[in-house]
Amino acid sequence: MTNLWAFLFVLGVLVFVHELGHFLLARWNGVRVLTFSLGFGPKLLKMTRGGTEYCISAIPLGGYVKMAGETPDDPRSGASDEFLSKTKWQRFQVLIAGPAMNLLLAVGVMTFVIWSGATEPAFEQRAPVVGRVLPGSPAEKAGIRTGDVIVAFAEREVDTWQGLQMRVVPRANREVPIVIRRDGARQHLTVVPEAQTKYEIGDLGIGPDIHPEVVQVMPGSAAEAAGIKARDVIVSLDGVDTTTYTLQELITRIGSKAGQPVAIGIVRGGQRQDLQVTPRDTNGVGRLGVQLSPFETVISKPGFAQAIGLSVRQNVEWTGLIGEMLVGLFTAETSPRQLMGPLGIAEVAGGAAAISWAALFGTMAMVSLNLGLLNLLPIPILDGGHIAILAIEGLAGRDFSMRVKERMLMAGFAVLMVLMVTVMYNDLSRVEWLGRLLRRS
């Protein structure tokens, strides 16, 4: 149920903002708007104000703004308030307004999330120095070792773990060039990222050097008695660096020390401290009484102007990633399995909502950016397609015939249908029992 409500909330906001852009610029340019609808199909709720019917329709997978004289097929009187009676520049403004509003929403929402203060993994902005290589992983097969510094991936320089992850994600099951620095010398290798999860996310099987961080200390616990505090970073256990353990291995190690004193090294405020802690015996298992994060975190609380800049930078990075994925779909470098439809978006939105409001709004910003950019693609039937036709007509100095425009729209409709079938197939195949059925067929 969380998935459903999160999906309806995210999609409702995005569709409303998109159609609001078309509506406002239509009214600004004196175009008569007949209908403003959230959703398609039968109208569930409606009211009329100022000659415009506002309604909520039954199928919540989009929306539309219907303008007078919008297409050559519509009844036209030649009145000045009809869409096709306006100049190309005015029609361009109306068409571009929807995608532009989604792009602005993405920047605005991320600005709010960043300005409100975000807790992020500290390693994401560090250089991609390999701290661990999983046995049998693509990285191990490629010859990557602990201590190597990854300087380029897929023929582009990377300088942070976050930048590397963004390059790896869309390239599952593809042979990709990778450049590492080892002992001061650059080496050129090739690696084939594994497809992880049902979304076929690329993964190299490597990780940074990370230490667990204390998120919460339970009142009256062994950890509190020893002086451990929230945000302490645990760097060693009985003299062994905690980077050698996974979080579960560390918890298991502590669990085996019930009633026995252990030496724990922590870093607090940049200063190293060594503490003695005796895990409480709980049914034969040692418990410190802490909640741990597998990695160190940083809390950023920028000013509003700085948050705008960070939001713009984040959206530019996302735009680059979306562009690469779109190009990769045409060059077969990116798996079509990474595309997701309504069910996939609902699952992602629901998962984000379960984490925090910030995660949900961050997801909304990413989906809004996707929606805005996809609508700008020069595919007839999309806003970008109509804009492209306007541009070509402007350069040619004449309008296309009705037959030519119909053929363009049919071609665009065919492309969209292929895309819709692909994303719906992906969504259904990720449902376990349906996926088994589809694979059998």
Q: Is 249 a catalytic residue?
A: no
Measured at the alpha carbon of residue 389, what is the angle toward residues 384 and 391, in degrees to the nearest 5? Answer: 90
171 forms bridges with which residues in the sheet? none
Rounded distance between C-alpha atoms, residue 118 and residue 66, angstroms: 40
- Nearest CA-CA partner of 166 in 180, 153, 150: 153
- Nearest CA-CA partner of 237 in 223, 219, 225: 223
Q: CB atoms < 10 A from the CB of 133, how many? A: 21
Q: In the structure encoding, which two tokens stand for residue 238, read together?
A: 């009985």
Q: List the alpha helices (DSSP H) in 44-145.
A: 88-115, 138-142
Q: In the structure encoding, which two tokens stand for residue 430, read together?
A: 């990720």
Q: In the structure encoding, which two tokens stand for residue 216, read together?
A: 């919460």
Q: CB atoms < 10 A from the CB of 335, how many? A: 21
Rounded distance between C-alpha atoms, residue 432 and residue 414, angstroms: 29
40 forms bridges with which residues in the sheet? 59
Contact by Cβ (8 Å): 91, 69: no
Count CA atoms within 13 Å of residue 229 on its CB side: 6
| SS3 (DSSP) at 47 | strand
Q: What are phi and psi of 296, to 5 degrees?
A: -70, 150
Measured at the alpha carbon of residue 249, what is the angle toward residues 246 and 252, in degrees to the nearest 5? Answer: 155
Q: In the structure encoding, which two tokens stand for residue 303, read together?
A: 């000013």
- Nearest CA-CA partner of 295 in 211, 233, 235: 211
Contact by Cβ (8 Å): 99, 383: yes
Q: Which residue is catalytic, options 19, 82, 213, 324?
A: 19
Contact by Cβ (8 Å): 326, 246: no
Rounded distance between C-alpha atoms, residue 360 and residue 352, angstroms: 5
Residues involved in catalysis: 19
